Amino acid sequence: MKIHCPELPKNLKEETEWAGLEAWAREEEADISGCRLTGITEPGADLSRLTFRGVRWERCRLNEAEAERAAFIDTEFVGCDLSGANFDAAFFQRCRFTDCKGVGALLPGVRLQHVTWDGGDWRYAVLDTAQGKGIRLTRCDFSGSSLSEMRVTGWELEEAELIGVNFSHTSLSGVNLTQCRLEGIRIAGGELKGAVVTPYQAAELALLLGVVIRQE
């Protein structure tokens, strides 16, 4: 599956102040669109139920932000701190996170369509029950995260750190895992049907699944 990139306007309006922009969007019931938000420091910011279209966030501190049921369409986050942010039941379409920090971020029940995580630290994040298609994890660290009961098709995993990830009831059937670290993951054997792994990974997974390998 080809994973589509965000489609942002060529000329983005510069915004450096969040409170006024949020107040305007809520008062007018309008989308926040076509802008670049740079260097905003708003821990605990309220993004809930807002819609962002064609927006680029750069070097923003949004740790512990509340973004339940927000919608992010053609949106990029670059070098942002999203640690502990709550994206419960949010919607992401053609979005990319580049070199962001999302330690402990909460994304349960999110809907994902063509979303890329490129670099960054997302340890202990929660994406349980997420659903969608076209998910790419590249050179990012999701160690210790919970990705259980996800209903996602079109995975692309490249040099992802997935140590100790909980994949319970999440299918990775047919996914190429050869460039990922998988030590200590939690997953059932049937959810790996057709997955591509290295001989070393196969031995590790066999131990996790309780399979005994005997030398002839």
User: Which domain CATH number covers 191?
Assistant: 2.160.20.80
Domain span at residue 88?
Answer: 13-208
- Structurally, the chain folds into a number of domains equal to 1
Q: How far is CA 78 from the centre of its chain?
A: 13
Q: What is the pLDDT of residues 128-180, one digit of tens each?
A: 999 999 999 999 999 999 999 999 999 999 999 999 999 999 999 999 999 99
Structure tokens belonging to residue 10:
């060529």
DSSP letter for each residue of 10-40: SSPEEE--HHHHHHHHHHHT--EEEEEEES-
Residue type, 22: E
Question: What does the mean pLDDT of the chain come to?
Answer: 94
Domain contains 2:
no
The model's pLDDT over 82-137, given as tens digits with 9 standing for 90+, comes to: 999 999 999 999 999 999 999 999 999 999 999 999 999 999 999 999 999 999 99
Q: What is residue 216's predicted lDDT score, i.e. its pLDDT?
A: 67
Identify whether 65 is part of a domain.
Answer: yes
* Overall pTM > 0.85: yes
- Whether 67 is covered by a domain: the verdict is yes
Distance CA(55)–CA(75), nearest Å, equals 5
Instruction: Say if 6 falls within a structural domain.
Output: no
Question: Is 74 contained in some domain?
Answer: yes
188 located within any domain: yes
Please indicate, yes or no, if residue 185 is contained in any of the structural domains.
yes
pLDDT band at 192 (very low <50, low <70, confident <90, very high): very high
* Measured distance CA(81)–CA(97) in Å, rounded: 11
Task: Examine residue 8 and state whether it is found in any structural domain, yes or no.
Answer: no
